[in-house]
Structure 1
Amino acid sequence: MQNDTSFWMISTDVLSLVSVAYQTDKMGNIDKVDLKVEMEFTGLAGNNTNYMAMCQSPDGIIYIATDWGNIVTFDPQKHQMTSRGDLPRVNKIHVHRLLYSDGSVWIGTWANGAICYNPKTGVYTQYTYKPEDTEKTLSHGDIYQMVSLGDGRYLAATWNGYTVFIPDKEDPTRYTTEVYNNTASQLHRNLETRMISAYYDTEGIIWIGTQGGGVYASDLRKQFYQRFHQETHNEICEMAMDKNEYIWLATFHKGILRSTEPFNPQSRLEFESVPAGSSNTVLCVLNDKKGNLWFGNGQSELIQYDSENKTFTVYPVRIKNKPEWSGSIWSLLIDNQNRLWVGTTNGLLLFDRQTKDFTYYPVGSGTIRAMVEVPGKYLLLGLSYGLVKCSLDGQPIRSDYEKTANVPVRDIRSLYAASDGKLYIGYSDGFGVMDIQSDSIENFYTTHNGLSSNYIGCICEDEEGRIWLGSASSVCNYSRHQKLFYNYYISGNNRSVMFYKDFLFWGNNKNITYFLPNEAMNNHFIPGKVVITQLEVDNKPVEIGQKINNQVILKQGIPYTHGLTLKAANNSFSLMFSNLTYSDDLQKYNYRLSPAQSNWLTINEGEKVSYANLPQGKYVFEVQSIMADGSSGYLTSMDVNILPHWYEAIWFRLLIIITIGFIIYYLMRRVKKEQARLRHEERLKHELFVANLEREKEKQINRERSNFFTNVSHELRTPLTLILSPLQELLQTERFSQILYDKLSLVYNNATSLSTLVNQLLYVQKIEAGMVQLKLSEVDISVLVKNVITSFKHIAEIKQTEFILDSGKFPVFINRNKMLHTAIETEELPAHIQPKQIISGLMDT
Structure 2
Amino acid sequence: MSIFGSMVYNPDNKLLYIATEGHGLLEYDIHSEKSRFHLIDKSDHQQSKNIIKCLTYIDGKIWCGTPSGEIFIFNPETDTFSLYFKTNKCTIYSIEPDSDGSQWIATTSDTIGIARLKEGKIIEKSFSEAKIAIPSGRVIKKVSKDVWLFGTSRHGLIKYDRNRDEVYQIGDESDLKNAYITSIAKDKSGNSYWIGTFGNGLFNYDSATDNINKVKLSEDDGPVEVCQVVQDNSGNLWICTTEGITSLNPASGERMNYTRTSDIRIQEFTIHSGIALESGEVFFSGSNGFITFNPAEIKRNEYQPPIVFTGLSVNNKPIEPNDSHGIIDSSIDDTGSITLDYNQNNLSISYAALNYINPEQNQYAFMLEGVDDDWVYVGNRREAHYANLAPGEYTFKVKGANNDGVWSTDARSIKIRITPPFWKTWYAYTFYLLALIGISFLIMYYIFKKKTLEQSLEYEQMKQKQAEEFHESKIRMFTNFSHELRTPLTLIVSPLQELLKRTDFNSTVRNKISLIYNNSQRLQLLVNQLMDLHKNQAGQMQLKIAKDDIVPFMQEVYSAFNQIAVANSISFSYVCSETSLPAWFDKSLFEKVAFNLLSNAFKYTKPGGVIEMKVEPIANDNQLIPGQTHSLPDMPHDVRLVHIAVSDSGRGIPEDELTNIFSPFYQVDDNKSKNIIGTGIGLSLTRSIVELHHGVIWAENNPEKGATFHVIFPIDNSVYTDDEIDHDTDERVVMDVFPPTTPTAEFKVDKRYTVLLVEDNKDVREYVKECLEPYYNVIEAEDGQGGFELTAERYPDIVVSDIMMPVKDGLELCAMIKNDMRTGHIPVILMTARSMVMQIKEGFASGADDYIVKPFNMDILLYRIKNILASREKLRNLYGKQFSPEAMGIEIVSFNDKFTQKFFSIIEKNISNSELNIEFICKEIGLSRANLYRKLKAITELSPMELIRNKRLEVAAKLLLESDSSVSEISTYVGFNSHAYFTNCFKSTYGMSPSDFVAKHKASNQNFEQTLTVEPEPAVSM
TM-score (norm 2): 0.35
**Which has more radius of gyration?**
1
Using the size of structure 1 for normalisation, the TM-score is 0.42
Higher strand content, 1 or 2: 1
Q: Which has the higher helix share?
A: 2
